[in-house]
Chains A and B, each alone.
Chain A
Amino acid sequence: MIKTSELSKIFKTDEIETTALNKINLEIERGEFVAVMGPSGCGKSTLLNILGLLDTPTIGDFYFLGENVAGYSEKQRAKIRKKNIGFIFQNFNLIDQLTVFENVEMPLIYLGMSTKERKHRVEIALEQMQISHRLKHYPNQLSGGQQQRVAVARAIVSKPQFILADEPTGNLDSAHGDEVMNILAGLNKMGATIIMVTHSQSDAEYAQRVVTLFDGQLLAEKTHKVSA
């Protein structure tokens, strides 16, 4: 479903060249829950950005649903992205000026969905995240856990095949963190493919497979049974 071959990302500034990812070969199947781990600066987020079609590799191939998208333009990538991928960020990245409802509704607008359909879908997603009682609130009126649930609702509202999560519990206390992880595990059970970057060993436990990066290189893969 997702396959990278000899994928590298090199950042160039005037003076230095940094290899953020070095010849990554990775394959992810439909319905998998994969955790990406590694120390700060190892290239986790860069990998996630490329897998999420937010960025392009410098060298190498990247097959997304069978298509080599490595050389795609931003416009081409945006088209695939909005249909297939939902994002969850460590700092939630909700838009302060929009209400909970409007934040969740946003991806559907860009998919060109009708108002009625959007309303229906947003309500379902918010109910699923148990946050529908807050739909007229603004992000800053919510707790961190509630904000992240809104962000998850936004990620799943368009029913994407993939959910990409960048340290989704990083800004949450452990209780709220567990809550979010349970939600992700639940989504995975319902068929979503999840790729998650994390520092947290306990969060990684939720994944079926853990890949570890060090200095831009894939070090090890570990598969384990999901405990929850």
Chain B
Amino acid sequence: MWINYLKIAFRNLIKHKLYALINILGLAIGIASFILIWLYIIDELSYDRYHEDAKNTYRLVNVYDFEGVGENSASSPFPVAWTLKNDYPDMVQNVTRVFNRQAPRTLIDNEFVSYNERHFFFADSTFFQIFDHEFIMGDPNTALDEINSVVMTESTARRYFKDENPMGKTIRLEKMLDLKVTGVIKDVPHNSHFTFDFMASLSTMRKPYGGQLPKTWVWNPCWTYLVLKEGTPKTLEKSFPAFIDKYFYDAEKENVTLYLQPLTDIHLKSKLDYEIEPNSNITYIKILGVIAVFLLIIAIINYINLATATSAGRAYEIGIKKVFGAFRSQLVYQFLMESVILSLLALFVSLFIIELLLPHLNNFSGKELQIGILIQPAYAAILMMIGIGTGLLAGLYPALYLSVFNPIMALNNKLSKATKGGLGRKALVVIQFVISIVLIIITLHIYKQVNYFKNADTGFDKENIVILPISGTTISRAYEPFKEELLQNPNILSVTAMDDMLGVAHNTHEFRPEGFPEDKWSFYPALVIRYDFLETFGIKLVAGRDYNEEMKTDPEKGMLINESMVKHVGWKSNEEAIGKKFRSLQGEERVIGVIADFNATSLHESAGPFVLNIKETPGVIAFFLKYVAIKVADQNKEETIAFIESKWNEKEQGRPFEYNWFEQELAQLYNDEEVLGDLSLILTAIIIFIAALGLYGLVSFMAAQRTREIGIRKVFGAEQGSIMVLLSVEFMKLVGIAILIAWPLSYLLIDEWLNYFAYQMNIDTLSFLIGALAAFAIAMLITNSRAYIVARTNPVNTLKYE
């Protein structure tokens, strides 16, 4: 019996080659895309879960809220970690701090090579007890015990030592400290919320800080991780207010909140200030997940549509089988089996498609997804379930529908009526078009929002500005002479420096504006800058004046604030703010100028009060100068960069020259959106392709069913054009209905998505039109290409078969 079923199944596939191809290809592409997204999502959800204690590991988050200004800090003050461990030994099992000197680059060299390293960190000796990394050499329990010791990754070790054994050898940090290699680990897995190439003992930093690590509870540069006993996080969080009260400074006590963030939540759910690396976004993962399910649904809908449409052709077979005693259940089995065979075939084909596309997806997403994971029993089982499940789901409706045929009707070929109405089939076509249109509209909006970000007026210039990271360099200690030398070149228009990247990140500094109560200090977002900042970045001055090098008191006594700050403090006009005082840790400063608002971080956040400040104490200047920004002329850029490099090399022997264009630094803020945009573009294209494939099959069948009618119409004078209209108009109606559903649905979804951004583009009506027109055009193209062939058929041939 089963062999008979199989035989019929395969013969049917061969007999209906075109439909089998459409079905298998559509399903295979659907399943392949679904699995690819699935792999991507599995990877996104796997971040940091490879650490044995992952589910008990938390990061401490510090919220500083001074009536709307302040920060949500991913990092904490130096003393917090070990104080928590000492005060709550029952709950806190282990702690570690991770610190990077807040330096964007770290110069590392040895006798062979030197590099500006981006991933150099310091940590407590407990780091490798909490975070599991595979040691190739060295002992995780003791590697960071000694001062001046460092663990490096395998590939980093190769960069510095080639094939030599690095253990016990030294590398030099910022040309000051020699660090001994005490361990080599496998490269940090990509599914970690931060990557490091070096992890040095935090105790090493005691010396630069004068013998001990900073004890301040204000400065918060340490990412602080805690391993807690199971079931204790809630209790520990409850004791945080008392902890804050006991240790934090009076001025900020009331404004600080601490909470615990599960380690495994960081990658997808954390968007704090001072993240080690930009994180991903759970919303985007959800969007991808929904698209993946849509893809599979569309592929299944195709199958159902084609299978029921072809059913009329199987009527005779069913009739004969019933006459000769087949039970309905046997026919149901037969059709389900055919469907499952087809979907398993599609699954098989989809594996080839995945194999083909995976390298591209990896390339594009920066991931290391592997098809091999699917061989693991759990995944293989899910895969088979997808294959068989899709087959059963897709086959169930046609199976039940076909097996119910009355044998006499079937034998007399009177099924055409039953198969012509096809309300369910029309509904499925509408669903496909709704999904396609919604995705087209949403994808267009994602692209427009990214473009909007890139071109939005952020309140400062972005073009032709070169950024040099300079923390720890000679230049940071002798910045002014470097600037003077650069300005000798007529293509260098202006030079300034800052302690964080404008438009990307900033610190907060403590101030008390004039008129505020004595104890009311707030942490305001601020950048520490050098002269010519406004000029270099084209920031508008709206009242007062800019910093002036001639005015000797400016650095210590003057400050620039923005218009939002004027409003925040409550001064009536920008002019009124001039001369007003702010208390700061340096003493008293006066507002010398008010600048127009600008976006100090990404456009996900709105602009708020902001301070620009110059510091003058030499040690302080060096500490705060992390980037030089150089405005260059539009022409001769290559020569200008070469000139900057030559000046750099004069000052920084042995430190590699590195520069970035400001515009590109800013563009990285919207990487997430850009990747999402690209992915949804590709997926939309795939969905449209699958839907189009299905539509082609369906139109072919409908045309075949109407052959006789078309023949009659042609005998009585219908021309090709009118036949094409006849065949297309029904689908056009369906597209029309789909548009009516898709438009409001897209509006709701886009509105929801845009709420996530502080700055949003307007909902774009043109995109709605494009979505609708695209659907019409696709439907038109497919139905007409098919209708054209049918309309050309000689009625003599079609009526003859009656």
| A→B interface (CB under 8 Å) | 49, 52, 54-55, 74-75, 78, 81-82, 87, 89, 91, 93-97, 106-107, 110-111, 154
User: Interface residues of A: mostly helix, strand, loop or mixed?
Assistant: mixed
Q: Scoring B residues 776 to 802 as 1 if CB is less than 8 Å from chain A, else 0, what string do you get?
A: 000000000000000010111001001
14 pairs of residues in contact across A and B, judged by CB atoms under 8 Å: A49-B796, A54-B796, A55-B796, A74-B794, A78-B719, A82-B716, A93-B715, A93-B799, A95-B713, A97-B709, A110-B713, A110-B718, A111-B717, A154-B716
Known A97-B420, A107-B717; 9 more pairs at CB < 8 Å = A49-B796, A74-B792, A78-B719, A81-B715, A91-B802, A93-B708, A93-B799, A95-B709, A106-B713
| A110 & B717 in contact (Cβ 8 Å cutoff) | yes
For A81, list chain B residues within 8 Å (CB): 715, 717
| B802 & A107 in contact (Cβ 8 Å cutoff) | no
User: Interface residues of B: mostly helix, strand, loop or mixed?
Assistant: helix
- A199: min CB distance to chain B, Å: 17
Nearest B residue to A75, CB-CB: B719
Q: How large is the interface on B (under 10, 10 to 19, 20 to 34, 35 or more residues)?
A: 20 to 34
B417 within 8 A of A: yes
Contact status of A87 and B802, CB under 8 A, knowing A49-B796, A54-B795, A93-B708 = no
Question: What is the CA–CA distance of A93 and B716 in the complex, to the nearest angstrom?
Answer: 11
| B709 & A107 in contact (Cβ 8 Å cutoff) | no
- A103: min CB distance to chain B, Å: 9
- A12: min CB distance to chain B, Å: 14
B282 within 8 A of A: no
Question: What is the CA–CA distance of A106 and B795 in the complex, to the nearest angstrom?
Answer: 16
For B420, list chain A residues within 8 Å (CB): 97
| B717 & A93 in contact (Cβ 8 Å cutoff) | no
Q: Which of A49, A55, A91, A93 has the most CB of B within 10 A?
A: A93
Q: Which of B722, B792, B794, B802 contacts A54 (CB 8 A)?
A: B794
| B719 & A87 in contact (Cβ 8 Å cutoff) | no
B712 within 8 A of A: yes
Q: Which of B420, B715, B720, B795 has the most CB of A within 10 A?
A: B715
For A106, list chain B residues within 8 Å (CB): 713, 716
Q: Which of B404-429 contact A (CB under 8 A)?
A: 416-417, 420
- B129: min CB distance to chain A, Å: 78
B59 within 8 A of A: no
B714 within 8 A of A: yes
Question: What is the CA–CA distance of A74 and B795 in the complex, to the nearest angstrom?
Answer: 10
For A75, list chain B residues within 8 Å (CB): 719-720
| B802 & A110 in contact (Cβ 8 Å cutoff) | no
Q: Scoring B residues 689 to 732 as 1 if CB is less than 8 Å from chain A, else 0, what string do you get?
A: 00000000000000000001101111111111010000000000
Q: Which of B709, B716, B795, B799 has the most CB of A within 10 A?
A: B716
| A82 & B796 in contact (Cβ 8 Å cutoff) | no
- A112: min CB distance to chain B, Å: 10
| A107 & B794 in contact (Cβ 8 Å cutoff) | no
| A107 & B720 in contact (Cβ 8 Å cutoff) | no
Nearest B residue to A54, CB-CB: B796
| B796 & A89 in contact (Cβ 8 Å cutoff) | no
For B715, list chain A residues within 8 Å (CB): 52, 54, 81, 87, 93
Question: What is the CA–CA distance of A82 and B713 in the complex, to the nearest angstrom?
Answer: 10
- A71: min CB distance to chain B, Å: 15
Nearest A residue to B421, CB-CB: A97
Contact status of A110 and B709, CB under 8 A, knowing A54-B796, A91-B802, A93-B799 = no
Q: Which of B530-560 contact A (CB under 8 A)?
A: none
Q: Which of B417, B717, B792, B802 contacts A96 (CB 8 A)?
A: B417
- A18: min CB distance to chain B, Å: 14
| A110 & B716 in contact (Cβ 8 Å cutoff) | yes
Question: What is the CA–CA distance of A110 and B802 in the complex, to the nearest angstrom?
Answer: 24
List the 10 closest pairs (A to B, CB-CB), nearest first. A82-B717, A110-B717, A107-B716, A55-B796, A54-B796, A93-B712, A49-B796, A95-B709, A110-B718, A87-B715
Question: What is the CA–CA distance of A119 and B711 in the complex, to the nearest angstrom?
Answer: 24
Nearest A residue to B791, CB-CB: A74
Nearest A residue to B800, CB-CB: A45
Contact status of A93 and B802, CB under 8 A, knowing A75-B719, A106-B713, A110-B718 = yes
Question: What is the CA–CA distance of A106 and B799 in the complex, to the nearest angstrom?
Answer: 17
Question: What is the CA–CA distance of A54 and B715 in the complex, to the nearest angstrom?
Answer: 7
Nearest A residue to B797, CB-CB: A55
Q: Which of B711, B714, B794, B796 has the most CB of A within 10 A?
A: B796
For A54, list chain B residues within 8 Å (CB): 715, 794-796
| A55 & B712 in contact (Cβ 8 Å cutoff) | no
For B722, list chain A residues within 8 Å (CB): 110
- A224: min CB distance to chain B, Å: 30
Q: Which of B416, B711, B719 has the most CB of A within 10 A?
A: B719
Contact status of A78 and B714, CB under 8 A, knowing A97-B709, A110-B719, A110-B722 = yes
